[in-house]
C-alpha cells in the first residue's frame, strides 16, 4: 500500500473523535437522536477508516478478528441476558421493571434500556468490523 502522510496523519487524529462520537450517540440515545444501531456503525467506521488508511493487516493488530467474533455474540448476550434476568426476578421476558434495583419502576426501565443499547452497539460495531475484515482481506496481496 502506498504511503500517504496526509491521509495517515489525518486518520490518526480523527479516529479517537469518531469513536468518542460513536459512544456519545450510543449513550445519548435516551434523550436525543441516537441509539445502539447508529452509534455502533459510527464506532465501526473508525476502525474501517483506520483499515483503509493503514492497510488491513495494521488494523487487525488493533482489533483482533477473535475479539470482533466474541463481541458480536457478547452484545446479543447482554440484550437477551437482561431479558432473562427479568424472568428470574418474576417478571416477563424483557420486562425490565421487575429487576430488584432501589429505583422507581420507570427509572429502572430507562436504565436497562441504556444497557440494551450498549449491547446492540457492541454487536453492530463488531459485525461491521468483522464484515469489513472478511471482504477486504480477499484483495490484500501480501
Partner 1 sequence: MRKWALFAVIVVGALLLWAEGDIPPFGDPDTPANTYVAQYYIENAYEDADMANIVTVILTDYRSYDTLGEATVIFTAGMSLLLLLRRGGRL
Binding site for partner 1 (CB under 8 A): 29-37, 69, 72-73, 75-76, 79-80, 83, 93-94, 96, 106-107, 109-110, 113, 116-117, 119-120, 123-124, 126-127, 130-131, 134-135, 138
Return the number of the residue (14 or 91) whose C-beta is nearest partner 1.
91
Least spacing, CB of residue 35 vs partner 1, in Å: 6
Return the number of the residue (33 or 88) whose C-beta is nearest partner 1.
33
Provide the grid cell at 2.
502506498
**Distance (Å, rounded) from C-alpha 75 to C-alpha 69?**
11
Least spacing, CB of residue 96 vs partner 1, in Å: 7
Q: Which residues contact 27 (CB under 8 A, 6 or more apart)?
A: 39, 114, 117, 118
Least spacing, CB of residue 2 vs partner 1, in Å: 25
Return the number of the residue (9 or 137) whose C-beta is nearest partner 1.
137
Return the number of the residue (13 or 93) whose C-beta is nearest partner 1.
93
Least spacing, CB of residue 33 vs partner 1, in Å: 7
Amino acid at each position: 500500500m502506498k504511503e500517504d502522510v496526509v491521509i495517515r496523519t489525518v486518520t490518526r487524529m480523527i479516529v479517537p473523535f469518531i469513536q468518542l462520537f460513536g459512544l456519545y450517540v450510543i449513550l445519548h440515545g435516551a434523550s436525543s437522536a441516537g441509539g445502539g444501531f447508529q452509534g455502533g456503525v459510527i464506532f465501526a467506521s473508525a476502525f474501517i477508516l483506520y483499515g483503509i488508511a493503514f492497510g488491513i493487516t495494521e488494523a487487525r493488530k488493533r482489533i483482533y478478528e477473535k475479539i470482533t467474533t466474541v463481541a458480536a455474540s457478547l452484545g446479543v448476550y447482554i440484550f437477551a441476558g437482561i431479558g432473562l434476568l427479568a424472568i428470574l426476578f418474576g417478571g416477563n421476558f424483557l420486562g425490565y421493571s421487575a429487576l430488584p434495583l432501589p429505583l422507581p419502576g420507570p427509572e429502572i426501565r430507562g436504565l436497562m434500556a441504556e444497557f440494551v443499547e450498549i449491547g446492540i452497539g457492541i454487536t453492530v460495531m463488531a459485525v461491521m468490523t468483522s464484515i469489513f475484515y472478511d471482504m477486504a482481506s480477499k484483495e490484500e496481496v501480501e
